Amino acid sequence: MGILKRVKEEIAVIRQRDPAIHSSMEVFLYPSFKVMVHYRIAHKLYLKKHYFLARWVSQRGARKTGIEIHPGAQIGKGFFIDHGNGVIIGETAIVGDNVTLYQGVTLGGTGKEQGKRHPTIGNNVMISAGAKVLGSFKIGDNSKIGAGSVVLEEVPPNSTVVGVPGRVVKRNNQTLPQEEMDQVHLPDPIMEDLSTLHHANTELTNRIIDLERELREIKHQEESKQNCLQEK
């Protein structure tokens, strides 16, 4: 794909997914646009084994945008980084089509693997602000990773993951993440657990109140019987 076609594609993606943009000219100011132009050039150099030049181009992009994408990473079409500062994508990461990342996301390794050591991100995936995906495994198509989550194992397609460590709390969501673009209204397993505990505590409290009332009634009945016997 020619550079002009790539530029047009990047403009279309940013205009589609960012409601704050009002004109195509604004796209040229976006960190996501700038870093992807640098990445596409650096990746071509990397594939031709011009490793130093590839890293030089990618590091220029990182200094300008605060987004670090290794030139060896493989990134599909329709890729978008919203805000972007602090995003890191490792050398062996593979990113599918129509993926959205928010600021502070890391697609990294654990430091233990050799060879393929970074995650594979499926199509139509949204990874929210501050999330970390660490290791060589796949995030399935159409999945969402909640803000601040730390994902350390494979995620099935159509899943929602939240928490540290990340766990799947929802599956088979039919709405594609890049269409919904909602990184706020995700299930919260901690709040669900707290709600369950609160409900159990309320039931236990009510049971104790009932038992205390029954005990008072029994005591009252016993006192009444004793009074009757004394009167006799």
Q: What is the pLDDT of residues 5-58, one digit of tens each?
A: 777 777 777 777 777 777 778 878 888 888 988 999 999 999 999 999 999 999
Alpha helix segments (H runs only) across the chain: 3-17, 31-47, 51-65, 177-180, 189-231
User: In CATH, what is the architecture of 3-187?
Assistant: 3 Solenoid (2.160)
> Does pLDDT of 133 surpass 90?
yes
Axis crossing angle, helix 31-47 with helix 3-17, rounded to the nearest 10: 140
> Does pLDDT of 180 surpass 60?
no
Residue 228 or 201, more confident: 201
User: CB under 8 Å, gap of 24 or more: what pairs does 166-172 form?
Assistant: 166/131
Distance (Å) of CA 135 to CA 17, 69, 90, 165 = 28, 16, 10, 13
Domain ranges of the chain: 3-187, 188-232
Distance (Å) of CA 57 to CA 50, 54, 69, 222 = 11, 5, 11, 90
> Does pLDDT of 171 surpass 80?
no
- Out of 3-12, 128-137, 171-180, least confident range: 171-180
Residue 75 banded pLDDT, cuts 50, 70, 90: very high
Quick one: CA torsion of 170, 174, 152, 105, rounded to 10 degrees? -120
Question: What letter does residue 114 receive in the DSSP assignment?
Answer: -
**Tokens of residue 169, six digits:** 């709390």
Q: What is the C-alpha separation between 121 and 87, in angstroms, rounded?
A: 15
Average of per-residue pLDDT across 75-91: 89
Return mean pLDDT, the chain. Answer: 83
**Tokens of residue 204, six digits:** 């236990």
At 173 the pLDDT is 53
Residue 174 banded pLDDT, cuts 50, 70, 90: very low
Q: Which of 137-146, 188-197, 205-214 has the highest mean pLDDT?
A: 137-146
Question: What letter does residue 127 receive in the DSSP assignment?
Answer: E
Distance (Å) of CA 84 to CA 2, 135, 194, 224, 227 = 25, 21, 33, 77, 81
Tell me the percentage of the chain whose pLDDT exceeds 90: 41
Residue 182 or 228, more confident: 228
> Does pLDDT of 175 surpass 80?
no
Residue 183 banded pLDDT, cuts 50, 70, 90: low
